[in-house]
Amino acid sequence: MGGVMPLVQLVIGLALVQFFFFLFAVGKARETYKVAAPATTGNEVFERYFRVQMNTLELLVVFIPAISIFSQYFGSYLGAGLGVVYLLGRIVYFTSYVKDPKSRSMGYGLSVLPIMILVVGAIVGAIRAAVLTL
């Protein structure tokens, strides 16, 4: 029983490590393509790495609270499972975006879809709990 939330925490931890990896990829691309700070534009390939990082930042801000609330109501096996789909979707997004921005749709969908389910589930769970206890 106590092992349920740790699974969700583990997936959150892995999502943070993955994001750190994207941050370092940007730092490396900054050197490779000679884009000196504070600039974030000037080289198209660098900008791809930068956009992957920014897009992941946007999703991470939604993913972490959503998976936490969702798992409280629907169990963390389901929550952690959806989280793993998000993690895989981000890997696909990263590799396809860096190769060709036009091919980023599938990885994007694969990481956004589980987040949408998590958000909707979090809201449904919270409404149900609020109504039951009012």
Query: What is the contact surface with a copy of itself in residues (CB under 8 A)?
Result: 1-4, 6-7, 9-10, 12-14, 16-17, 19-20, 23, 36-41, 44, 47-48, 50-51, 53, 57-58, 60-62, 64-66, 69, 97, 101, 104, 116, 119, 122-123, 125-127, 129-134
How far apart are CB 12 and a copy of itself at their closest, in Å? 6
What is the rounded distance in angstroms from the CA atom of residue 81 to the CA atom of residue 89? 13
Q: At its nearest, how many Å lie between a copy of itself and the CB of residue 64?
A: 5
Residue 40 DSSP class: -
Query: Which of 7, 1, 133 lies closest to 70 in space, CA to CA?
Result: 7
Rounded to whole angstroms, the Cα distance separating 64 from 15 reads 9
Report how far residue 79's alpha carbon sits from residue 60's, in angstroms, rounded to the nearest whole number. 15
Q: How far is the CB of 39 from a copy of itself (least distance, A)?
A: 7
Enumerate residues 6+ apart whose C-beta is below 8 A from 109: 89
Query: Measured from the CB of residue 27, what is the shortest distance to a copy of itself in angstroms?
Result: 10
